[in-house]
């Protein structure tokens, strides 16, 4: 039986190739993901190792002055220094930056970084900056920066210390050089004397000063390790490698999560591949009916026949998985080589590490998926009756109709899941329980309903295809032929369309979710900010001349359309405070003119967030004097109410401006202009910049990147599905050889045959894509409603451009998928297929 | 029986060779033959004689190695694939042994298929005539799987005739039919010649079928071996016997009714 199986495989090699490609792509995906995970772990490990400098031993555990002294006293210990890290807030002029600093050990071996310009800080109040920080603060070696931090002060009244804000003036003596990227995760670190780092990151009198002790040894390191372990009973004394492994195991949790998420996408790709395999084997079994019948006639048992199909699937799965493994490894290696060649400062390994997991998992998974996918066709093979060997050729098999049970089950899952999904969205809108709960419920409901849809696909996809085909019939006989051919085998068409449906639904869902997220976030941010950019002194008084200078400076910035001085006063409405601001011409500043419609003499426009104050009894100044104005509700963003100049003068005449409101050009790059504004503000003013526009831009960038990554991962599944379309078409062409020959004989030109196959391909992919888009929209809206419903800023978007791209790609791919099958179809001369079997 | 001077289809020095060198097979070897218009001609011979090959070449379904085929004035051997296809569509009709209907179309759609492919409108009067002559009135909306073998072949004949072709080529049209349906099909073919003025060229191995024709062309070993006018089953059988004695001990078996 095995010899026969192999012989049959050899004959059908061409037909198995497409299926093999599908599995190979899936396993290549898995391999590349696992290898990337390995690289991440390895890189993290290498980075941590670098952070330990050239220490021989590392003690993990609390380090304070006593333990430090004890460690230094141990026999065999040369030097021992705590690994001090901390963060401080540096300012230079009106620029500021947060920087992580590392204590510069006295022992050069224990230092993980060096200095490229200048020297290592030796005395207190000296600092070497990371190059990126120096650039951001626009300082060079020799300049001064201020460091802000909190220091603990013993509280005379109680045990807990009090914290007070302090500021140090530091001299920049050098720029840090980190050639191997040991501290790349922080974007570079600064170097400062250990006593400064301790002062800035005062842990409080009771806590240890560091959690890691770096030790260099003389003589036998093993002996020193033992002695040190005895001296420091509360710490783990490890070699450098062991310590790195221990530290990285905590970080690798996050890395593992990432790898798991990406493997989820690989699972989707493999699911689609499984559909393609199942399809292929179904067709193969159908085509081999005569051989199978002959075998059963001559004496093969049902079990042998089934096993033969499964063995064939196993061989195919193993072979393709091997190809996928090699391809995935090669891809990962190439990517690594490219990254190493580029400017990335990270300790990337030069080769991928092939762990046992990275080799075995793809092989096993790929083979398993192929075998599982072949089980149903294998069972179908056993149902071939021996009698069919004796029938004349070309008994057309009537396609079987799927049962009522399947319909009922599929409806139950689909409708039930759909209702639960709507319920989750509504529940999330009420705000009860918490968004994560509703999201989990929504995810479960959505998956259930999608599974129901897929199960029922074989029932309704052919119907949709038939309707779509009918609409094409007007285009001529070729289209009619294509439409008729597409619905001939409903199961096969459904399977192929469904494979594409999965990928497209997910892509559409992600796009819709992202679009809705973008709009909702932008709405929410619009509510928090009244104008594009707000420059404020946060309550501190501002010198009039300084404000004028700031106004002039900001007006000069590229991308600023309008800037006006802002006056502010705080009023009381009963117990509540209400800030009231005024600018000379609010209409020129706000984006939405409707928000300031109510602005008039004697009127104060309330922001949306304070609309409850509209019914307040009476406004008074901070001093208690009553304020007589009309309060008007509006959609104004932010938390301050708006008054025009006249009204403001009546309330608080003589108040000088303490800030600026800025409106940007419509096409301005919000983040860049905000930075420019910040840089242009004169350094002596206590003015800070807040920008809703820049925040929105930041969020949108994050959303766009995430969407691109997700779509990229899903693209693999889509590609596999398209391979499946080619597969289906070529198998159909083989099945229809006799009919194609007949058509050619009675007058179908080669061009018409090619066109008919192209239409068929486009029909299959088009239907799958359109249905996928509709489903994806629905799921995307439900998901967005679940996540954002509570925020009250839900706006259901249709990402027209993205969806159009998806549809276009699918249609084009359907046409492209027909090219190879059409070539083989047209190459067959009519005569070859007319012969009686 | 109407005859015109010009043959409907003719072959000159027609040769078809498969393979090369020692494995060379000369399926047809310099065949010269004319087929009269408005006549029912049968091509007969033992299996392996080249009769199917001859039919395929005459019908433009295959390319000859050398020689020429003329359909009326047109030299088939000079045509490219598209031109050949259009010629088959517009000027020829085919009836095959295995019916070769498209399973997803109804009988009516199958009949109209050649016109559909040409984008031409059907001549309804002609369609009705065919349907009536072939007795298909009740079956037009049925799919091939719902028709008997004889009915399917009649649909195929209607399909072959719908475009009013110059020649109808039939390759063993009764091979898959029982004797009663077979007789029906053959009499339809004869009626289409006698009453509808068509030209039919039929390949068969069955002497009884051949007897329906006006003329039988005998072929053996890739060459024309004989000609019988106004055949009867007996004269055809005799002709085939004569062929057998020419072949020798390794000759293929004689197929009889």
pLDDT (0 to 100) of residue A98: 82
Residues B47, B53: Cα–Cα separation, whole Å: 11
Chain A residues within 8 A of B144 when measuring between CB atoms: 396
Q: Report residue A710: phi and psi, to 5°.
A: -60, -45
In this prediction, residue A833 has a pLDDT band, given cuts at 50, 70 and 90, of: low
Instruction: Identify the DSSP state of A164.
Output: E
pLDDT (0 to 100) of residue A401: 53
Cβ separation A393–B98 shorter than 8 A: yes
In this prediction, residue B5 has a pLDDT band, given cuts at 50, 70 and 90, of: low
For the ranges A225-234, A280-289, A715-724, the one whose mean pLDDT is highest:
A715-724
Pick among B55, B85, B108, B174 to test the A interface (most A CBs inside 10 A): B85
Give the residue-averaged pLDDT of A587-604. Answer: 80
Q: Average pLDDT of chain B?
A: 86
Report whether pLDDT(A512) > 50. yes
Q: Write out the H or E segment, with its range, that includes residue A53.
A: none
Which range (A383-387, A470-474, A789-793, B134-138) has the least confidence?
Answer: A789-793
How near does any CA of chain B get to the CA of A404, in Å?
24
Instruction: Identify the DSSP state of A58.
Output: E
CB-based contacts of B220, cutoff 8 Å, min separation 6? B45, B46, B49, B243, B246, B247
Chain B residues within 8 A of A400 when measuring between CB atoms: none
Beta bridge partners of A87: A100
In this prediction, residue A758 has a pLDDT band, given cuts at 50, 70 and 90, of: very high
How near does any CA of chain A get to the CA of B94, in Å?
7
pLDDT (0 to 100) of residue B124: 92
Give the residue-averaged pLDDT of A54-73. Answer: 82
Give percent of chain B with pLDDT exceeding 90: 36
Q: A770 with A500: CB under 8 angstroms?
A: no
Report whether pLDDT(B9) > 90. yes
Report whether pLDDT(A793) > 60. no
A516-560 residue pLDDT tens: 888 877 777 777 788 888 888 776 777 788 888 888 888 888 888
Is A393 an 8 Å CB contact of chain B? yes
A420-467 residue pLDDT tens: 888 888 887 776 677 677 778 888 888 889 988 888 888 888 888 888
Reading the block at residue A197, the tokens are 């780092």
Cβ separation B104–A488 shorter than 8 A: yes
A668-714 residue pLDDT tens: 788 788 888 887 877 666 777 888 778 878 888 888 888 888 888 88
pLDDT (0 to 100) of residue A255: 67
HEC letters along A502-532: HHHHHHHHHHHHHHHHHHHHHHHHHHHCCCC
pLDDT (0 to 100) of residue A396: 42
Length of chain A: 837
Cβ separation A749–B104 shorter than 8 A: no
How near does any CA of chain A get to the CA of B125, in Å?
22
pLDDT (0 to 100) of residue A252: 66
Which residue shows structure tokens 């809705």? A516
Q: Report residue A80: phi and psi, to 5°.
A: -140, 125
Report whether pLDDT(B2) > 70. no
Cβ separation B117–A743 shorter than 8 A: yes
How near does any CA of chain A get to the CA of B232, in Å?
28
Cβ separation A396–B105 shorter than 8 A: no
A596-607 residue pLDDT tens: 777 888 888 888
pLDDT (0 to 100) of residue A791: 59
Chain A residues within 8 A of B56 when measuring between CB atoms: 831
Report whether pLDDT(B256) > 50. no
Cβ separation A484–B86 shorter than 8 A: no
Q: Which residues of B39-76 are buried (b: 16+ CB within 10 A; e: fewer)?
A: bbbbbbbbeebbbbbbbbbbbbbbebeebebbbeebeb
> Which 3 state secondary structure label does DSSP give A400?
coil
Closest CA to A265 of A44, A517, A25: A25
B55-108 residue pLDDT tens: 989 988 888 899 999 998 899 988 888 888 888 888 888 888 887 888 888 999
Residues A636, A783: Cα–Cα separation, whole Å: 29
Interface predicted TM-score (ipTM) over 0.85? no
A174-221 residue pLDDT tens: 888 887 777 877 777 888 888 888 888 777 666 777 778 888 888 787
Give the residue-averaged pLDDT of A397-402. Answer: 48
Q: A647 with A604: CB under 8 angstroms?
A: yes
Q: Which residues of B touch A (CB under 8 A)?
A: 56, 59, 61-62, 81-82, 85-86, 88-90, 93-94, 96-98, 100, 102-105, 113-114, 116-119, 144-145, 159, 171, 175-176
Report whether pLDDT(B249) > 80. no
Residues B104, B108: Cα–Cα separation, whole Å: 12
Residues A712, A699: Cα–Cα separation, whole Å: 20
pLDDT (0 to 100) of residue A658: 84
In this prediction, residue A395 has a pLDDT band, given cuts at 50, 70 and 90, of: very low
Report whether pLDDT(A8) > 50. yes
Q: Average pLDDT of chain A?
A: 82
């Amino acid at each position: 039986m095995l010899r026969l199986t192999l012989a049959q495989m050899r004959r059908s090699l061409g037909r198995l190739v497409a299926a093999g490609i599908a599995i190979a792509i899936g396993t290549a995906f898995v391999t590349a993901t696992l290898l990337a995970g390995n690289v991440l772990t390895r890189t993290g490990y290498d980075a941590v190792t670098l952070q330990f400098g050239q220490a021989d031993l590392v003690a993990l555990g609390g380090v304070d002055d006593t333990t430090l002294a004890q460690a230094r006293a141990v026999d065999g210990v040369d030097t021992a220094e705590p690994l001090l890290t901390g963060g401080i807030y540096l300012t230079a002029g009106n620029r500021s930056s947060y920087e992580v600093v590392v204590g510069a050990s006295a022992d050069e071996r224990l230092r993980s970084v060096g200095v490229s310009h200048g020297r290592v800080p030796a005395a207190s109040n000296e600092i070497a900056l990371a190059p990126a920080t120096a650039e951001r603060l626009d300082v060079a070696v020799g300049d001064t920066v201020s460091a802000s931090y909190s220091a603990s002060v013993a509280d005379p009244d109680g045990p807990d210390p009090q914290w007070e804000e302090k500021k140090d003036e530091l001299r920049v003596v050098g720029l840090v050089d980190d050639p191997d990227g040991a501290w790349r995760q922080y974007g570079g670190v600064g170097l400062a004397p250990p006593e400064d780092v301790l002062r800035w990151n005062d842990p409080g009198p009771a806590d240890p000063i560091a959690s890691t002790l770096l030790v260099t040894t003389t003589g036998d390191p093993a002996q020193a390790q033992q002695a040190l372990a005895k001296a420091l009973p509360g710490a783990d004394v490890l070699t450098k490698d062991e310590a790195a492994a221990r530290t990285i195991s905590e970080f690798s949790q996050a890395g593992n999560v990432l790898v798991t998420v990406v493997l989820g996408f690989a699972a989707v790709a493999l699911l689609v591949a499984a559909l393609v395999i199942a399809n292929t084997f179904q067709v193969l079994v159908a085509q081999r009916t005569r051989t199978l019948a002959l075998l059963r006639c001559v004496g093969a048992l049902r079990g042998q026949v089934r096993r033969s199909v499964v063995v064939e699937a196993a061989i195919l799965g193993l072979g393709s998985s091997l190809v996928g493994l090699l391809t995935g490894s090669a891809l990962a290696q190439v990517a690594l080589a490219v990254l190493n060649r580029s400017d990335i400062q990270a300790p990337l390994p030069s080769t991928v590490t092939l762990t046992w997991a990275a080799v075995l998992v793809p092989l096993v998974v790929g083979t398993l998926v192929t075998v599982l996918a072949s089980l149903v066709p294998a069972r179908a093979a056993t149902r071939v009756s021996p009698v069919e060997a004796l029938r004349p050729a070309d008994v057309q098999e009537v396609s079987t109709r799927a049962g009522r049970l399947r319909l009922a089950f599929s409806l139950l899952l689909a409708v039930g899941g759909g209702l639960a999904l709507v319920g989750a969205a509504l529940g999330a809108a009420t705000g009860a329980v918490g968004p994560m709960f509703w999201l989990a419920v929504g995810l479960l409901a959505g998956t259930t309903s999608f599974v129901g849809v897929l199960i029922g696909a074989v029932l309704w996809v052919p119907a949709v295809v038939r309707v779509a085909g009918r609409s094409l019939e007007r285009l001529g006989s070729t289209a009619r032929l294509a439409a008729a051919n597409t619905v001939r085998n409903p199961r096969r068409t459904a399977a192929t369309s469904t494979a594409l449906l999965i990928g497209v639904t997910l892509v559409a869902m992600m796009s819709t979710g992202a679009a809705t997220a973008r709009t909702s976030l932008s709405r929410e941010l619009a509510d928090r900010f009244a104008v594009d950019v707000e420059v404020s002194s946060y309550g501190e008084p501002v010198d009039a001349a300084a404000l004028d200078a700031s106004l002039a400076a900001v007006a000069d910035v590229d991308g600023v359309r309008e800037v006006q001085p802002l006056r502010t006063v705080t009023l009381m409405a009963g117990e509540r405070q209400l800030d009231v601001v005024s600018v000379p011409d609010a209409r020129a500043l706000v984006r939405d003119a409707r928000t300031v419609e109510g602005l008039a003499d004697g009127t104060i426009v309330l922001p949306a967030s304070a609309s409850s104050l509209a019914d307040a009894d009476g406004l008074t100044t901070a001093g208690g004097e009553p304020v007589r104005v009309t309060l008007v509700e509006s959609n104004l963003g932010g938390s301050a109410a708006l008054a025009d100049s006249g009204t403001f003068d009546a309330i608080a005449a003589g108040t000088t401006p303490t800030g600026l409101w800025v409106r940007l050009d419509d096409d301005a790059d919000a983040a860049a202009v905000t930075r420019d504004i910040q840089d242009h503000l004169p350094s002596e003013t206590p003015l800070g910049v807040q920008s809703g526009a820049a925040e929105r831009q930041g969020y949108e960038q994050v959303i766009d990147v995430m969407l691109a990554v997700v779509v990229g991962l899903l693209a693999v599944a889509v590609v596999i599905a398209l391979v499946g379309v080619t597969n289906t078409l070529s198998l159909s062409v083989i099945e229809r050889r006799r009919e194609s020959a007949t058509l050619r004989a009675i007058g179908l030109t080669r061009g018409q045959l090619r066109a008919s196959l192209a239409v068929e391909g486009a029909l299959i992919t088009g239907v799958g894509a359109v249905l996928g888009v509709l489903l994806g929209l629905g799921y995307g809206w439900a998901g967005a409603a679940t996540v954002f419903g509570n925020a009250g800023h839900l706006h259901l978007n249709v990402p027209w451009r993205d969806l159009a791209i998806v549809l276009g790609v699918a249609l084009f791919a359907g046409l492209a998928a027909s090219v190879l099958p059409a070539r083989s179809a047209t190459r067959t001369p009519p005569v070859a297929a007319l012969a009686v079997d | 029986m109407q005859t015109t001077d010009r043959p409907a289809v003719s072959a000159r020095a027609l040769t078809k060779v498969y393979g090369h060198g020692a494995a060379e097979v000369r399926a047809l070897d310099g065949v010269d033959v004319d087929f009269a218009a408005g006549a029912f001609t049968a091509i007969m011979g033992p299996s392996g004689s080249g009769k199917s090959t001859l039919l395929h070449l005459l019908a433009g379904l295959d390319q000859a190695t050398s020689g020429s085929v003329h359909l009326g004035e047109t030299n088939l051997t000079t045509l490219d694939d598209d031109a050949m296809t259009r010629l088959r569509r517009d000027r020829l009709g085919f009836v095959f042994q295995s019916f070769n209907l498209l399973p997803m179309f109804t009988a009516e759609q199958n009949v109209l298929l050649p016109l559909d492919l040409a984008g031409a409108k059907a001549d309804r009067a002609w369609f009705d005539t065919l349907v009536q002559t072939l007795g298909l009135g009740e079956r037009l909306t049925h799919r091939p799987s719902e028709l008997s073998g004889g009915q399917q072949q009649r649909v195929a004949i209607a399909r072959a005739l719908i475009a009013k072709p110059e020649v109808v080529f039939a390759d063993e049209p009764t091979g898959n039919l029982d004797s009663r349906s077979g007789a029906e099909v053959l009499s339809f073919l004869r009626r289409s010649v006698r009453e509808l003025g068509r030209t039919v060229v039929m390949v068969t191995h069955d002497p009884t079928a051949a007897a329906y024709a006006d003329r039988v062309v005998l072929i053996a070993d890739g060459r024309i071996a004989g000609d019988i006018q106004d055949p009867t089953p007996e004269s055809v059988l005799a002709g085939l016997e004569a062929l057998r004695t020419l072949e020798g001990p390794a000759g293929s078996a004689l197929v009889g009714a």
